[in-house]
Chain A
Amino acid sequence: MEPLLELKDLCISYKIYEGRMKVIDKVTLTVLPGEKIGIVGESGCGKTTTMKSILRILPPNGRVDSGQAFFKGKDLLKISDTDMQRIRGNGISMIFQDPTAALDPVFTVGDQLIAVIRYGSKVPINRREARTRAIAALKEAQMPDPERIMSNYPVQLSGGMRQRVCIAMALATEPELLIADEPTTSLDVTIQDQVLRLLHSLVERRKTSVIFITHNLGVVRVIADKVNVMYAGTIVESGHTQEIFTNPLHPYTVDLLAAMPRLSGGGLEERVPGRIPDYLNPPLGCRFQPRCTKAQLRCSLEKPKLVEAKPGHFVACFLEAGNE
């Protein structure tokens, strides 16, 4: 099957006062049509940065140093601005972490929804039709009284409702790929489940591919078919969800799973010791090496590549996969 999205050796850096932060170091990722993949990793490991680079909405001091991002065969990093804008919306769209910040506070929800539907869909749509579709989208997102919501401002809605609006917005243009960046992290625990279910049912119906970013392993297990574990700007392990959870290979993944709080007890005491590396002067070899309990000499000198250790199960570690 032709992959919908293919990231190859993406390298991204940020320019700050003290120098260049080399955040993303050769990220490789594939998404097949209809597939739901998860990206897990702790805060600061570069998940959002990678996604923003795909949509070309990096902040001005961010720069893609090398690599490619193929969407349906076209390298998104090389196409013109106009072409990119056409792809945004009906090709790829994104849901952001904080729904309060993701909606323009001085315009009504309806205004923003209509704008997105009018311009983001495959063909331009007139205002009346867009309004009808907007109300339908809100209804589908299980919003009570969609007509009234249309004329509400974001400040009048609760957090959960705002996120539903954002979901409706992102899906109203019928994208082929949806990027959901920690969509439930900033919501109340009681609402999280609802929103997740909603998201799940919506993408199931449309057969949309999803990239689901989270640092919550429990969520990933439920939603995603495949999982990519990210650490300090690299994918360290990737494979089917079940496989990763039962047979984690990379030391980081192992620690991560061990640190998950479980109903059966355990996990709450353990953290993954150490911190993410300094991106200004990243380690020469494997980026996890400073925190790795199983590190060898080779790990501090050479960077391990993502290699297929078992069928469909990739890992970037010298210990697990020879890596010649």
Chain B
Amino acid sequence: MNIFKFIGNRLFQGIVVLIGLSLVIFIIARVVPGDPARLALGSTATAEQVAEFRSKMGLDKPFYIQYWLWLQHAVHGDLGISLVTRRPVAEDILQFFPATFELCLMSLIFEGIFGILLGTIAGRFANSWADNAVRLFSYIGVVTPPFVFGILFMLFFGYLLHWLPSIGQLSPNIVGPPRITGLIVLDSLLTGNFLAAKDAFLHLLLPSLSLAMGGIAQDARITRASIVDNSGKDFINALKSCGVPNMFIMFKYLLKPSLIPTVSMMGLSFAYTFSNAFLIETIYGWPGMSRYGMNAILNKDLNAIIGVVMVLGIIFVTVNLLVDIIIAYLDPRIRLRTQ
């Protein structure tokens, strides 16, 4: 019964934050020096065409009316028309979002698997050569920006060794699957097109790995610290001294409490993954939201910019909420604190 109150509370907070965010972005966007209508139509358009465009797009109304209108539409899923593509922003985002999502999801999976694995090994064998190797690797991973990894991986694995493809989502000679979820690997698997699935997966590897490196390093560090910290705690000693075997303790009683800070961190960094994805997509020519977002930014396509920022904000809030729920599930101290 407390869970629902908890979720409800967080949801409410999230919505408040999102509304505030939209307001902030709207305000900032309206501080624009420069005329978005003019920009959209180019310098050859006449003044009347610009004026007509401006009134059609509602750009001449006062700020608060524009915001209110926008808000009304947004709640119904209508994010306005993109000044660049002339299509509904919502449609644009729906088209480009899955690719970015696929990238970030794969990156998260890598992060989880490798980060926790390395961190556990380092923590279990603390101060051994394995531990030192993981710590060194983590350090490098933390200080190196994802786009540097992107460039290096592409050079090394793509061109030097020719192991993996580096541009785009699919090789030009492969026929892609019909669009079900928009996640190409998933869609290929769902329709039984294993050739495409394999090809898409290979294309996915380098960019998602570049994206994941920072997270892997971060998670390994935290997991290691957490395991080392918990290993010395009395509850481990108590279980040991009452005869529970070491392996059992390690994989159950030590692992679960140690993963709590890691999961927390993973959730937090998921949003950063999205922003780093922008740069990775540019390097690898990945057809995701980044290209769309970049264009929007460079052309001052206000509706699109706001749309993209809001989508990211929603993702952030949702992920935070999910992480909070997962942690409340993992750590009974949090959900039972009210008792």
Contacts and interface: CB of A to CB of B under 8 A. Distances in A.
A115 B241 contact: no
Contacts of B233: 101
Nearest to B329: A106
A107 B243 contact: no
A93 B241 contact: yes
20 contacts: A88-B242, A89-B242, A89-B243, A90-B243, A97-B234, A102-B234, A104-B239, A104-B257, A105-B235, A105-B332, A106-B260, A106-B330, A115-B253, A116-B242, A116-B243, A120-B243, A153-B333, A155-B336, A170-B241, A173-B242
Contacts of A95: 238
Contacts of B332: 105-106, 153, 155-156
Contacts of A105: 235, 257, 331-333
Interface of B: 126-127, 232-246, 248, 252-253, 256-257, 260, 330-333, 336-337, 339
A57 B239 contact: no
Nearest to A155: B333
A79 to B, nearest CB: 15
Interface in A93-149: 93-98, 101-107, 112, 115-116, 119-121
Interface in A262-306: none
A19 interface: no
B242 A102 contact: no
A52 interface: yes
A170 B243 CA distance: 9
Contacts of B244: 89, 115-116, 119-120
A55 B253 CA distance: 19
Contact of B238 (A59, A90, A156, A169): A169
> Is the interface on chain A under 10, 10 to 19, 20 to 34, or 35 or more residues?
35 or more
Nearest to A98: B234
Contacts of B245: 85, 119
Contact of B253 (A86, A98, A104, A179): A104
B232 A94 contact: no
Nearest to A115: B244
Shortest Cβ-Cβ A-B pairs, 7 listed: A89-B243, A120-B243, A153-B332, A94-B241, A101-B234, A116-B242, A102-B238
Contacts of A12: none
A116 B249 CA distance: 11
Interface centre among B233, B243, B331 (most CB of A within 10 A): B243
Nearest to B330: A106
A98 B235 CA distance: 10
Nearest to B254: A104
A106 B256 contact: yes
Contact of A101 (B235, B240, B248, B253): B235
A115 B257 contact: no
Contact of A93 (B243, B260, B331, B336): B243
A172 B333 CA distance: 26
Interface string A38-67: 000000000000001001010110000000
A187 B232 CA distance: 22
B120 to A, nearest CB: 16
Contact of A119 (B234, B238, B241, B248): B248
Contacts of A94: 237-238, 241-242
A92 interface: yes
A220 interface: no
A94 B257 CA distance: 22
B106 to A, nearest CB: 29
Given A106-B257, A107-B253, A52 B242 contact: no
Nearest to A81: B246
Given A60-B127, A101-B233, A104-B257, A92 B241 contact: yes
Contacts of A116: 239, 242-244
A106 B331 contact: yes
A148 to B, nearest CB: 13
A98 B237 CA distance: 12
A155 B332 CA distance: 8
Given A90-B243, A156-B336, A156-B339, A103 B248 contact: no
